[in-house]
Structure 1
């Protein structure tokens, strides 16, 4: 049985950039529902207890859209919570900053690319910073689609573009949400750890193991060929 991961901070820790009300609704209702539906659908598909990463990929391979949508959304949201930290955290540095400079010249240019991609993404989805053979890139995915089913990319950071992620705080101003999110709550330490994992140092993000499954049984996000 897959569990709803606890937030890595208090509900009010990201305020005023992401409100406690938004987090309670987003995590406690939307994410919770995805996890509950994944448990039901994975059992019916004979995949209960498998690492969630495997469930997402297998659902995609089978063309099981209902299972894929719920399992991928459960995974995306768990990754998203880790991509945020309370305001005032560290800026990019070290290898991450060098990778940003190599791909975008500087952090401001990365922000512009990230915000532009998110603002111009039609309807619901996710905006990602990923790494791969060509270095860092900004991409977006529609609806539940994620990096688990894309070859050659490894996720460093993601922001949710679904309206439930920002509408209570920003109404329809997605651009303001993305700008304030990037400047104030983006977790660059997590992104740096993901980049190190892509380079072979440490484990990348993995969804918490299903109940009754040893943590070592979870499958890590595959590293790209760099």
Structure 2
């Protein structure tokens, strides 16, 4: 039976609330030190929810305003809240960057290991997600990332097809990614839940959120339509910046 919009919003709100209560909610990477997202802020030892770099409605009609409000203000905020709560148990971790924590999950105390994976990953993934989208985006990739895509995939259409297929075939919640691997080659992959490619030694250059909360209000169960529409908001300038950082990270 199809959910109407009001019914879905009720379920979505209830789900968010329950995740926040039980701490189960599922929160960039080796960026330059002056831009890193660290656990310790200058004023408070807490993780901060970054503001959207554009208005909630800026990505319409491809991503609607209400989805952006729920996605950023509720879901992302829950990852931040849960991550902060976990890190209060081990304040010695607050001086580390989130990307380093995710790269070295086995070194994190076991009592918060899953929480950091889920909520730290969710926070990092979404912080990336907001920036690689923009109003009046999309079109063909440019500059270095365009050349790299041509080298490793043949052409943009081949890459786009692989990327969309990875998202469409992924069972359940997760992300589909373009990453740079240790062999300095681009590849498409998907991860479950809020898992980060960093935990597998791969640098996330761009990714699309395929959790239902990212698209259900506008696309219902039509994930393929959402995946196709998403290309209209891709911020290739930001993707190029991340590709530059990825090459430096892999070479270290």
**TM above 0.5, one fold?**
yes
Shift of 1:83: 1.5
Query: Could you tell me whether the CA contact under 8 Å between 1:69 and 1:144 is conserved in 2?
Result: yes
Q: Secondary structure at the match of 2:58?
A: coil
Q: RCO greater where, 1 or 2, for CA within 8 Å and sep 6 or more?
A: 1
Which position in structure 2 is the counterpart of 1:188?
236
Deviation per residue, 1:181-207 (Å, 9 max, x gap): 02x01111111111122233xxxxxxx
- Would the alpha carbon gap of residues 56 and 135 (structure 1) be closer, same or farther in structure 2, given more than 3 Å must change? closer
**Which 10-residue stretch deviates more, 81-90 or 158-167?**
81-90
Tell me how many residue pairs correspond in the alignment. 202
What's the TM-score once normalised by structure 1's chain length?
A: 0.83
Q: Which has the larger radius of gyration?
A: 2
Match of 1:149 among 192, 199, 207: 199
More helix by share: 2
Query: Could you tell me whether the CA contact under 8 Å between 1:42 and 1:55 is conserved in 2?
Result: no
Which position in structure 2 is the counterpart of 1:214?
none
| Structure 1 residues 93-108: aligned runs within 5 Å | 93-108=142-157
- Would the alpha carbon gap of residues 60 and 122 (structure 1) be closer, same or farther in structure 2, given more than 3 Å must change? farther
Shift of 1:57: 3.8
Which position in structure 2 is the counterpart of 1:26?
71
Query: Please, which runs of 5 or more residues in structure 2 have no aligned partner?
Result: 1-45
Query: Please, which runs of 5 or more residues in structure 1 have no aligned partner?
Result: 201-222
C-alpha RMSD of the superposition: 1.8
What's the TM-score once normalised by structure 2's chain length?
A: 0.75
Which position in structure 1 is the counterpart of 2:115?
66
Shift of 1:37: 0.7
